[in-house]
Amino acid sequence: MACQENYTARWYTADNNELQQNSIKAIVQGKHNFIWMTTENGIVRYDGNNFLVFNSSNTSLEHTRFTDIFGSIEKDSLTSYNESKKELVFIRNAKVQILKKNAPKSSLVRNGRHFFFHDGLPSNYSINQHEPYYIRLSNGNIFFIDNQTIELCDSKMKSISKTPFKNDNIFNFFALNNSLFYLEDNGNYHCFSEKGESSGKLNAIPTRNRRLFWNITTGQVFLSVKNKIYQLKNQNDQLTAQLIVEYKDFETSNIIAAYFDQKNNKLYLGSGTNGLCIISFPLFKTVKKSNERAEVYYAAQAFSDSTVITSEGLIINNKRVIDSIPFPKSVLLDERINIALDDEKNIWISRAMKVFCYLKKSGYKKYITYPFNQNPKTIFKDNSNTIWVSLGIDEFHKPKLYAIKKGVVTLKAVFKNNINYIVQQNSILYLAGDNGLFLYDLKTKKLHFAKNTEKINIRSVFIDSKQKIWLTTYEKGFFLYENQTLHSFPTDEEHYLNSAHCIIEDKNEFFWISTNKGLFQVSRKALMQHYKNKNTVIYYHQYNKADGFLINEFNGGCQPCGNFLKNNDIVFPSMNGIVFFNPYKISPLLPGKDLFIDRVVLDQKMITPKDTIVLKNNFQRVSFLVSYPYYGNPKNVAIEAKMDKIGSDRWERLKADKSISFTTLPPGTYTLTFRSLSGFNANYAYKKVILVVPAKFHQTIWFTILCSFLFVGFVISIWYIRLYYQKMKSLQLQITIAKKTKKLAATVQKLEITENNLKQEIKQHEMLVKSMSHDIKSPLKFLSSSVKHLFENSTIQQDPKLKQQLGMLQTSTLQLYEYVENLIKYSSIFIEGKKLEGESYSLNKLIEESIHIFEKIAEAENNAIINSVPKDLLVKTNKKALSIIIHNLIDNAIKNTKNGRIELLCTTQSNILTLKIIDNGKGMSKELIDYYHNFYKNPISKNYHLGLHMIIELLILIEGNINIKSGIDKGTTIEIMVEYN
């Protein structure tokens, strides 16, 4: 790579395996922007990054020596014959086609004379400069030329004009814009056209030892004089010359072909022996003091309309270092990262824990010193000409913010972390720090922390043309700070923008962002669209060393980190020089709008790329190689691909070789889509390919239909077989049913007899209950009343012994009566089944009745029975069953308790009554408790407490439940749960 002031030159040769052969005979840029070249070993296509050769190794060509390329660029029709003149390479749609076709005659007969075809300059075929030649123009007209006469004819060989013109060298002729020029060695020229003949002179250009290069197909003519290359142009039949470059190696490089790509600003030079030279013209200018060593630059301040002054005192414009101010030499990095210019053009810098103000009125020879005990990090002048100084953290001091106004230094704030950058918007100072953003109100003198910024290390703050706040950070990209919220943006593919240094906006609303990996250009409009709609994409255009930098690493963490001068130059510091450029003169090499399928490799064999490709049914792997002409930084091209019907809608980015592969696909039709961002408007260029994978017979719809018919036939057959089987089975079933029916009739008859017997037994039970009620209950009641009457007799009352015996008799009689009563109730309950009472009754009163029965027995055992059931609680539970349950609960409690306490209480919840009886008697064993709990689930009786058996059986009948809690000598708690309403 050779680098000079205004261009870079890069040679591509066969020696470094970039070309197949070193002789470049012709260079043409086709309609789709590919560069096509002829060599002695095939046709070469260049897409800006790679060379693709078409020769006998990958085509059907038999001879691979080529010279000229002719045809029409506009019509996308270029042709080139090889040396045998029997094989034609036809170039269209970025592809080549080999045709076995003889070349047409290279001469025309006019007035009995042969005029040879002029193939351009230098000529590959002509050796005699005095032979007659013809030149066919793009409008179809033809010039016939010899050493005496110039005749212009139309496309049908009809003469338009004939001019006598003596000349001694046919190779001084060339055509530009349908006019014929003859350039003499002294710089004079003659012009011939339908308008007639005219003449002129190329001024200020020495023409001795000059060479002409005429590229007939592109219509370009070049003139070289002592390594200076000019392009000749026709302006109203006046010949002008424009200097393109002065390339020091031109005369020694054996150049025989030239083409200038004005759109991409590149000059292509083809050598007969040395290969291809591409000369680029970067529009970025890197300036430094010495070319002998690297120079690191940090803070620089706009000093005039076209210059900046660095923190070390260098005054620089876009060409060179023009002056300097003898500032003290910097030692620490912090002394190079700040500089400011106040309203009187005084310069503020820092050195060795001091801030210096160099006074303009003294010619910057005198200065004022402001000492501090910490190193200043940044210096900023606000709109009121106040100088703000942030001091850096050190081992003994916290970061601080000072203001210097009219020579008075005032402490304004103390921080925990460094403040690196300061900007002003209206009355607010934005203070960017290692851990977030602070806002200082100049009116209220109050400091506020910007919410949600505590986790970012801010390198700079930028206020754009619409007063939006942008933050660049260390390792986290850049943000828009809006409505107290940070809005992030996707970065470039390589994430170079994660460490964004500085943002400068030009008047076309493009942001220029410096990073450690080059300079990025992005549309502010695209960023704001993404801010509103996260689904939009952003195109970042990256510039690197090939665009004119001496190094890709720019510098940040300083203030100012960039400048926009009044002469429209933008200035950024870098690790080697300071970069100047005019954004309005930069024409970014944007990706194009055409994508091409260059090659298709099916199972390691090349197939012809088409819009619709039919693949083999059993293919193993197919690869697609995409070509994309682009002559800028390859990182600005991002090609993605997506195949439908394969279960993923994600776009996959193509690798550096621009290829994508697929393995076996099921039969069907697929659409493979390629896309690439084509510029700042975030539009995509698309290319679609239809892939057809044919189905085998067993995969076709006809096979499916046939199988469907066979399946339906099979189902119908099975259905008929099944139907016959069901009929036979039905017949057998009818016989079986007839037999079973006879048996069932006999069983039903037996059941009817049993039912009648059961009814008779129930009647007998009912009669028994009535008999007990009448024949047993009544005498017992009479007996009880008689005993009571005797007990109350005054004579008996006087005999204690007799009174005691009658009292016991009365109690026993009453208990016997109640036992019979409960037995009758128990029997009637099982006849009646579960039922709720029609009317509510008092549970307290029901319990009191049972307590009254056992009152004497309880007194005899010295037990106290307490009824804690609320008197106002009314229930509808089966009264007979509940009465028996309560009776037996009290009875069991008295039997198992002496000198104790028996309490009845209840709770209600969700229509469930829980009745508890608690005693402090001798208790129950765990075995007995488990028995009664199991008895509730499986009522198989053992010889334990018949009273509890009866209670459980009644609870089962009325769908209640029981829970027993007890322990030996720890008393017993029995819970009865029943519906009460």
Place of tokens 């000019």: 230
Question: What gap in Å lies between CA 869 and CA 845, rounded to an integer?
Answer: 9
Mean pLDDT confidence for 685-695: 90
pLDDT digits (tens, 9 = 90+) for 503-558: 999 999 999 999 999 999 999 999 999 999 999 999 999 999 989 899 999 999 99
Q: What is the pLDDT of residues 436-469, one digit of tens each?
A: 999 999 999 999 999 889 999 999 999 999 999 9
Whether 927 and 964 have beta carbons less than 8 Å apart is answered as no
At 866 the pLDDT is 93
Mean of pLDDT values over 720-749 = 87
SS3 285: strand
In this predicted structure, what is the pLDDT of residue 41? 94
Terminal Cα-to-Cα distance of the chain (whole angstroms)? 103
Q: What is the pLDDT of residue 940?
A: 61
Per-residue pLDDT tens for 592-633? Answer: 888 899 889 998 888 888 889 998 888 889 999 998 899 999
Q: Would the pLDDT of 406 be above 70?
A: yes
| pLDDT at site 154 | 93
- Return all residues near 796 (Cβ < 8 A) that are at least 6 apart: 790, 802, 803, 806
User: Who wins on pLDDT, 212 or 829?
Assistant: 212
- Phi then psi for residue 656, to 5 deg, are -60, -30
Q: Which residues of 945-955 are buried (b: 16+ CB within 10 A; e: fewer)?
A: bebbbbbbbbb
What is the CB neighbour count within 10 angstroms for residue 150?
21
Is 696's pLDDT higher than 50?
yes
Which tens digit of pLDDT belongs to each residue from 79-138?
A: 999 988 889 999 999 989 999 888 888 889 998 899 998 989 998 876 678 889 999 998
Confidence (pLDDT) at 86: 87
pLDDT confidence of residue 3? 34
For the ranges 67-71, 281-285, 926-930, the lowest mean pLDDT is seen at 926-930
More confident of the two residues 205 and 320: 320
Per-residue pLDDT at 2: 34
Predicted confidence at residue 299, as pLDDT, reads: 96
pLDDT tens, 206-257?
767 789 999 999 999 999 998 999 999 999 999 999 999 999 999 999 999 9
Confidence of residue 33 (pLDDT cuts 50, 70, 90): very high
Chain mean pLDDT for the chain: 88
Report, as an integer, the average pLDDT of 925-929. Answer: 87
Q: Over 50: is that where the pLDDT of 39 sits?
A: yes
On the question of a cis peptide bond just before residue 206, with omega within 30 degrees of 0, the verdict is no
Q: Report which secondary-structure segment, H or E, holds 752.
A: helix 701-771
The DSSP result for 554-585, as a single string, is B--SSBSS-EE-TTS-EEEEBSSSEEEE-TTT
- Give the position of tokens 């409690």: 893
- Is the model's pLDDT at 1 over the cut of 50? no
What is the CA angle 903-906-910, rounded to 5? 165
* Overall average pLDDT of the 896-907 stretch: 92
Mean per-residue pLDDT, 406-435 = 95
Contact status, residue 775 vs residue 768, Cβ threshold 8 Å:
no
Identify whether the C-beta of residue 35 lies closer than 8 Å to the C-beta of residue 46: yes
Show the tokens assigned to 153: 């004819």
Neighbours of 805 (CB within 10 A): 13
**What pLDDT does residue 808 have?**
66
Residue 472 pLDDT grade (very low, low, confident, very high; cuts 50, 70, 90):
very high
pLDDT band at residue 752, thresholds of 50, 70 and 90? confident
Alpha helix locations (H) across 398-440? none
Which band of pLDDT confidence, cut at 50, 70 and 90, is reported for residue 639? very high
pTM summary value:
0.70
Distance CA 670, CA 655 (A): 22
pLDDT at residue 812, rounded to an integer: 66
Confidence of residue 793 (pLDDT cuts 50, 70, 90): low
Tell whether the model's pLDDT for residue 918 goes beyond 80. Answer: yes
Q: Is 545 helix (H, G, I), strand (E, B) or coil?
A: helix
Tell me which residue of 814, 821, 898 sits closest to 858, measured CA to CA.
898
Higher pLDDT, 629 or 935: 629
**What does the block give as tokens for 803?**
């009174």
Q: Which of 484-498, 715-729, 762-776 has the lowest mean pLDDT?
A: 762-776
CA distance 119 to 215: 9
